[in-house]
Amino acid sequence: MTQRAKTSLDDTIAAIATPVGSGGIGIVRLSGPEARAILARVFAGDTVPLRLTYGHVVDPASGETVDEVLAVYMPAPRTYTRQDVVEIDCHGGPVPLRRVLDLCLAHGARLAGPGEFTLRAFLNGRIDLAQAEAVADMVAAQTDAGLRLAVAQLDGHLSDRFQAVRARLLDALAWVEASIDFDEDEVPPHEVAADLQFAEERLSDLLAGAERGIITRQGIRTAIVGQPNVGKSSLLNALLRVDRAIVTPIPGTTRDTLEETLNLHGIPLVLVDTAGIRADTRDLVEDLGVARSRAALAQADLALVVVDASRAVDDGDRAIAALAGDRPAIVAINKTDLPVRADARGLLSGAPMVEISALTGAGINDLERAIEAVIFGGQVVASDAALVSSPRHRDVLRRAHTDVSTAAEASQTGMPLDFVSIGLRAAVNALGEITGETVSDTLLETIFSRFCIGK
């Protein structure tokens, strides 16, 4: 996003607001002071504010009809950006959308940067920064639980909790700084200790649910690993309830990693089916697959170590278990529909073991419950709660909590009020980074650059 795109609200921006590709409807969106005038230049039809109007987009230079559309003009300030907004509903093919957008750009608009419509909503005070980030989370939500978290954040439930803490800290900071500047008898009494205790407790509550919220939003990357032909691809298919991976009795069928996302009771579980890991291969392609399997395991949040129940556990199984390291893991003893010979006790110390048959489906529900237990200690996240779901917010809250604790310690030990003030001001500024009161242009650019153009 350019510096002009980040800061200027005086020009009119335009972009295609619907996904790339063919569809029934596509939308070109404009926002800014010239939005209505640009519509009048390219739209043959009478527009009434807040009324969807039928007409045609016409190239003024040639008189050519570009598309048959529905258009609506929404006057400021009751719009998404609190500016004049125009939306043109076109046919959803890439050619008519591009032609309509090009006409808008040729007649006074400029192309919007990523997330610039939402950026304008933030800069114009319609939403705070946490709510703006929730817009992107709604678009990217992979489960109903993730969507509910984003909706709660967009509705301002989290912002209210942040602001309640920040307001108490601001009260305390105002009193401390007044006490530094004026005589004691000129400043009314104030319980700074109560403000600090309130802030510490509320920040602790927010942090307590942060990991669950982040998991619900981002998901758990889960590597399915094991020796060749232990049933890793069959397990992937069993968990997905569809035949996604190719399964044959020939060892080494899987030559690359395969990723699919499973909605496990509101948890996005990113399953990575990997090539069978063995130390000695004579196939270059298989070697590459094994290397990718090791890399997938190294990047995983959770390892599903699959063992063949029909044969004894050997050094190959133990080597793969060792690769899992200290990350959370579950041992899935597969092929229990065959005569059982494997004894996997001690294969991964402390890891739960679940007996399954990917072929018949036996034990798959038990495995899913074990996954939930490893992730959340047996408790699935209360997805409709106002949980912190952003790693950025969690890190800022940790910083603010440390600053509040520092201020409280300075106050309790009788240190000069200047030291209390330092901690309080740092905490206030940190919380402002979440809601946007103390945000920098660099941070804004980082956040909104992750948005899609048109949002």
Supply the CATH number for residue 101's domain.
Answer: 3.30.1360.120
How confident is the model over 111-122, as a mean pLDDT? 95
* In a shared domain, residues 19 and 146: no
3-state secondary structure of 317: helix
If one counts every other C-beta atom within 10 angstroms of the C-beta of residue 193, the result is 12
CA-to-CA separations, 76 to 111, 126, 251, in angstroms, rounded: 20, 12, 65
Count of helix runs (H) and strand runs (E) in the chain: 16, 13
> Which region among 151-155, 231-235, 264-268, 437-441 has the lowest average model confidence (pLDDT)?
264-268
pLDDT at 217 > cutoff 50: yes
Burial 325-358 (b: 16+ CB within 10 A, else e): eeebbbbbbbbbeeeeebebeebbeebbebbbbb
Residue 443 lies in a domain: no
Both structure tokens of 73: 């003009």
Residue 162 maps to which CATH number?
Answer: 1.20.120.430
> Taking the model in full, what pTM does it have?
0.81
Angle (nearest 5°) at CA 154 between 2 and 427: 75
* In a shared domain, residues 234 and 257: yes
If one counts every other C-beta atom within 10 angstroms of the C-beta of residue 404, the result is 31
Cβ-contact 20, 101 below 8 angstroms: no
Cβ-contact 315, 344 below 8 angstroms: no
Strands laid side by side in the 43-44 sheet: 43-44, 53-58, 65-74, 85-91, 25-31, 13-16, 110-111
Burial 68-85 (b: 16+ CB within 10 A, else e): ebebbbbeeeebbbbbbb
| pLDDT at res. 5 | 42
| pLDDT at res. 254 | 46
Nearest CA to 224 out of 211, 239, 214, 205 is that of 239
Burial of 15 (0-12, 13-18, 19+ CB in 10 A): buried
Instruction: Name 25's Cβ contacts closer than 8 Å, sequence gap at least 6.
Output: 18, 89, 90, 91, 92
- Report CA 288 to chain centroid distance, whole Å: 31
* In a shared domain, residues 240 and 370: yes
| pLDDT at res. 229 | 87
pLDDT above 70 coverage of the chain, percent = 89
Residue 361 lies in a domain: yes
Residue 168 lies in a domain: yes
Helical spans, DSSP H, in 377-416: 391-412
d(CA 306, CA 317): 9
Over residues 290-327, the pLDDT tens digits come to 677 778 788 888 999 999 999 998 888 888 888 887 88
d(CA 20, CA 24): 12
Residue 440 lies in a domain: no
Q: What type of residue sits at position 156?
A: G
Considering 76, 92, 127, which residue would you say is the last residue of a domain? 127
How many domains in the chain? Answer: 3
Over residues 31-51, the pLDDT tens digits come to 999 999 999 999 998 889 999
d(CA 415, CA 397): 25
> Which region among 255-269, 350-364, 427-441 has the lowest average model confidence (pLDDT)?
255-269
CA-to-CA separations, 199 to 20, 164, 424, in angstroms, rounded: 45, 9, 10
Considering 127, 159, 189, which residue would you say is the last residue of a domain? 127
Q: Which long-range contacts (CB under 8 A, 24 or more apart) does 86-89 make?
A: 86/29, 86/30, 86/31, 86/35, 86/36, 86/38, 86/39, 87/17, 87/27, 87/28, 87/29, 87/30, 88/27, 88/28, 88/29, 88/39, 88/43, 88/57, 89/25, 89/26, 89/27, 89/52
How confident is the model over 194-210, as a mean pLDDT? 95
* In a shared domain, residues 12 and 100: yes
Burial of 240 (0-12, 13-18, 19+ CB in 10 A): middle
* In a shared domain, residues 279 and 425: no
* In a shared domain, residues 205 and 229: no
* In a shared domain, residues 319 and 336: yes
Considering 337, 356, 376, which residue would you say is the last residue of a domain? 376
| pLDDT at res. 380 | 43
If one counts every other C-beta atom within 10 angstroms of the C-beta of residue 107, the result is 19
Residue 446 lies in a domain: no
Domain that holds residue 275: 216-376
* In a shared domain, residues 399 and 294: no
Residue 445 lies in a domain: no
* In a shared domain, residues 372 and 231: yes
d(CA 367, CA 372): 9
d(CA 428, CA 433): 9
| pLDDT at res. 259 | 86
Query: Residue for token digits 């509910």?
Result: 148
* In a shared domain, residues 288 and 348: yes
What value does the mean pLDDT of the chain take?
87
| pLDDT at res. 276 | 66
User: What is the DSSP secondary-structure string of 332-372?
Assistant: EEE-TTSPP----TTSSTT--EEE--TTT-TTHHHHHHHHH
Cβ-contact 324, 225 below 8 angstroms: yes
CA-to-CA separations, 259 to 192, 294, 425, 447, in angstroms, rounded: 52, 15, 45, 27
Residue 16 lies in a domain: yes
Residue 392 lies in a domain: yes
* In a shared domain, residues 188 and 116: no
* In a shared domain, residues 223 and 353: yes
| pLDDT at res. 188 | 84
For residue 28, the cross-strand partners are 16, 88
Residue 287 maps to which CATH number?
Answer: 3.40.50.300
Over residues 323-359, the pLDDT tens digits come to 887 889 999 999 999 988 878 888 888 899 999 999 9
